[in-house]
A and B are shown apart, each in its own frame.
Chain A
Amino acid sequence: MQLTNRKVVVSNKVQSFAERLYLPAIAKGMVITASHLFKKSPTIHYPEQKRPIAPVYRGQHVLKRDDAGAERCTSCGMCAVACPAEAITMTSGERKKGEEHLYREEKYAATYEIDMLRCIFCGLCEEACPKEAIFLTDRLVDTQFERKDFVYGKDKLVEKMNERIDVTKRQTAAVLEFKKTLGLKHNELFDANKLNKGNH
């Protein structure tokens, strides 16, 4: 009686003497491996050679300064709100007299920390930022020995004026234009009329 039609006849043929010697099959296999001797290895010797990465690669963050050297970040907290991994924390400070060359607006980020182990490099902070202050760059986050060393503070995040980080690949004219679109969350929030009405 046959319950299903899944029965298969398995070949169970007895090996011939030549097959039991394995030699023809072995020769075949060895020709295959030998052919790999003449193939190009796809290895990239990492520190010396680098694989080209996409122009919009999302790597380690940078906090930009403006052309005069003042920090653009105003510690509004939009990035922290947008962050799905809750990797960003900050505290605000008020700009004192004489600090105008350091901070562009009256309020600034006294501390600004990104936990690189929490960060998923999605780029939402960059999208949320109304001040064009935070960008993801094509740099890789360094390896560390301890978890606490992965919490990057302002010392590592804010760009240095003598070695400015180029973000033009991410901040193209099209992107800038797009960010002005009304209806985007941060444009809505900072729309003066809506703010005064207080309907959010």
Chain B
Amino acid sequence: MTAFIIYKAIMCGAVFLLCLGAAAYATLWERKFAAFLQDRKGPSRAGWGGLLQPLADGVKMFMKEEIIPNVSNRSLFILGPSIFMVTAVITSSVIPWAKPVLINGVTYDLQITDINIGVIYLLGVASIGVYGIMIGGWASNNKFALLGAVRASSQMISYEIPMGIALIALIISSGGSLSLKEIVEGQDVGFANIVWQPLGFLIFFICALAETNRAPFDLPECETELVGGYHTEYSSMKLGLFLFAEYINMFISSAVMATMYFGGYNFPFAHELYAKLGLADGSVWISLIGFGALITKIFGFICLFMWIRWTLPRFRYDQLMNLGWKSLLPLSLLNLAITVAVEYFRGNIHF
């Protein structure tokens, strides 16, 4: 029992640190990548080639004056960024990071918890995240912040529906399990789910952009119309939490997409490679290589997120709603219908 608790504690700590570290360096990479796309150099002064920039940004955020408006609801004002940050981090708990390791005859899953409703947990926690924005924006007692919060919540509700339907299609085609571990193991041999669900992936990807409030769906913090959007009244590290949680969200949703559609820690010809290297099942090296593959996929998705952000202008609000309700929702229903029909004729579904 003690060993179990220690193992879980180590897993939690490691995943927590991984999320924070990855998000911190995603902020640096965002600035660097934006610079490369715009023929600039990006931050290069702090540390070796700018490597300490996230640290400098963090120190700056902490040193700034903390202002809590008199007219705001103080406790809710503090609760907003906390909820946003917490929900961003706890999404990581169902993601399988690598193949299980066998140490002294005991198998350790490299996943904090493998709950059998992992996909539903992900959707649920992701939608709680918007409460952070909503509460924070509303408690600010500021028109712009409230408008930003209202936009965030309506956007979240609109895009959750096609996202959920795309996931239903994925689950039907991948064998009916809601556990992320089983979804990944299903892609161990054979093709990754993207091959069977290209349209579903496209819908999921667009919705993931919207759920993480990334451009071109960053209307909640639309500075041209709403000053700063839902975080207009926030300063110091509370603002930092809002901004930082966006990067954690981006990291986690990249991990989810890599896991669900791109085979997670599996990669093409993995078994041939392991056999050639003479690695047995449960070896630490297999886990490390698999983890490397997953991180590479996540990095690719993060680059794609950033590439999109520095290419596309922001949607107008009616365009956002049109896209969500008139294009993505019918498309996702079509995708679901096709998937169900195909699986029915393959004999995988019985009515």
Chain A residues within CB distance 8 Å of chain B: 17, 20-22, 26, 29-30, 32-34, 36-37, 39-43, 45
Contacts and interface: CB of A to CB of B under 8 A. Distances in A.
A36 B39 contact: yes
Contacts of B311: 26, 29-30, 32-33
Contacts of B349: none
A45 B43 CA distance: 11
Contact of A36 (B36, B308, B312, B327): B36
A17 B39 CA distance: 35
B41 A41 contact: yes
A148 B308 CA distance: 49
Nearest to A22: B323
A30 B39 contact: no
Interface of B: 35-41, 44, 307-308, 310-312, 322-323, 326-327
A40 B40 CA distance: 9
Contact of B36 (A20, A26, A37): A37
Contacts of A37: 36-37
A26 B39 contact: no
A30 B216 CA distance: 13
Contacts of A21: 327
Nearest to B304: A30
Contacts of B322: 20
Contacts of B323: 20, 22
Contacts of B326: 20
Given A29-B312, A33-B307, A33-B310, A20 B327 contact: yes
A42 B39 contact: yes
A41 B36 CA distance: 8
B307 A30 contact: yes
A45 B42 CA distance: 11
Contact of A30 (B38, B40, B44, B308): B308
A20 B39 CA distance: 31
A114 B44 CA distance: 37
A37 B310 CA distance: 12
Given A30-B311, A33-B311, A41 B39 contact: yes
A26 B38 contact: no
Closest 3 CB pairs of A and B: A33-B311, A43-B41, A41-B39
Contacts of A33: 37, 307, 310-311
Contacts of B37: 33-34, 36-37
Contacts of A36: 36-39
For A30, A39, A45, the residue with the greatest tally of chain B CB atoms inside 10 Å of its CB is A30
A45 B41 CA distance: 9
A117 to B, nearest CB: 28
B312 A39 contact: no
A12 to B, nearest CB: 16
Nearest to A33: B311
B312 A26 contact: yes
B307 A39 contact: no
A17 B326 CA distance: 10
Contact of A39 (B39, B44, B308, B310): B39
A42 B310 CA distance: 19
Contacts of B38: 36
7 contacts: A17-B327, A26-B308, A36-B37, A40-B39, A41-B35, A41-B40, A41-B41
A29 B37 CA distance: 12
B40 A43 contact: yes
Contacts of A45: 41, 44
B204 to A, nearest CB: 15
Contacts of B35: 41
A43 B40 CA distance: 6
A31 to B, nearest CB: 9
A34 B40 contact: no
B178 to A, nearest CB: 29
A37 B40 CA distance: 10
Nearest to B311: A33
Contacts of A40: 39
A58 to B, nearest CB: 30
A37 B37 CA distance: 5
Nearest to B45: A45
A36 B38 CA distance: 7
Contacts of B308: 26, 30
A26 to B, nearest CB: 6
A20 B36 CA distance: 30
Nearest to B331: A21
A20 B320 CA distance: 11
A106 B296 CA distance: 79
